[in-house]
Amino acid sequence: MKNIDLAKKVKELRNRSGISQELLAEYSKLSLRTIQRIENGETQPTGDTIKKLSSALNITPNELIDWQIIEDTNSLLIMNLSQLSFIAFPLLGILIPMIIWTSKKDKIKDVEQVGKSILNYQISWTLLLFIIIIGAFVSVKLELPINISFAGLFTSICVMYIINLVVIIFNTLRYHNGKSIIYKPAFQFLS
């Protein structure tokens, strides 16, 4: 649906509720100018604006945004592949998908579920990687009887990177082929 369709819908719902633009602005805590721009089709409201409008009009956000949620497999594939940034620095494997997820989460079908799966997996992977690295350094500093060589640590890190790379490519190909993703093992940080 284009801006003009949303404009008609908001105006129709507002009129059906018997409230003026001024009252809608007050109820939704949006500016009068924002309400006017939406009703004139001059702007595309954000997810937060949609939530405020739907609350003020006593409807669900889905009644306003069902038309807005699009199926965009390219964005989801990009979000999957953006995890590869972990190669440069592990935290980038979390940050870049998170940025894509938050910017698209009210606009693209399945982005909520895919984004949470990706982030849960990447956070889990990064935590495990840091635990291995910190654990190795602590055991050396405290001279614990655990014998961890540099070669063993390097091998462990390489194995972790290879596993992450394989999981990302495997899931990207699964999603591309229309199958569900399987980012496991992962702790459920985001549910």
- The C-alpha atoms of residue 76 and residue 84 are separated, in whole angstroms, by 14
So what's the pLDDT on residue 154? 93
Question: Stretch 30-53: mean pLDDT, rounded?
Answer: 89
So what's the pLDDT on residue 59? 87
**CATH superfamily, region 3-65:** lambda repressor-like DNA-binding domains (1.10.260.40)
Q: Which residue has the tokens 């496991």?
A: 184
So what's the pLDDT on residue 93? 96
Q: Kindly give the interhelix angle for 92-104 and 111-141, rounded to the nearest 10 degrees.
A: 160
Domain boundaries, the chain: 3-65, 73-176
- The C-alpha atoms of residue 99 and residue 38 are separated, in whole angstroms, by 26
Q: Which residue has the tokens 């990706």?
A: 118
User: Which among 40, 91, 75, 61 is positioned nearest to 176, based on CA atoms?
Assistant: 75
Least confident of 61-70, 99-108, 163-172: 61-70
- Terminus-to-terminus CA distance in the chain, angstroms? 30
| Res 1 pLDDT > 70 | no
pLDDT tens-digit map of 130-159:
999 998 888 888 887 777 788 888 999 999
**pTM, full prediction:** 0.64
pLDDT tens-digit map of 67-118:
555 677 788 899 999 999 999 999 999 999 999 999 887 677 788 889 999 9
Three-state SS for 126?
helix
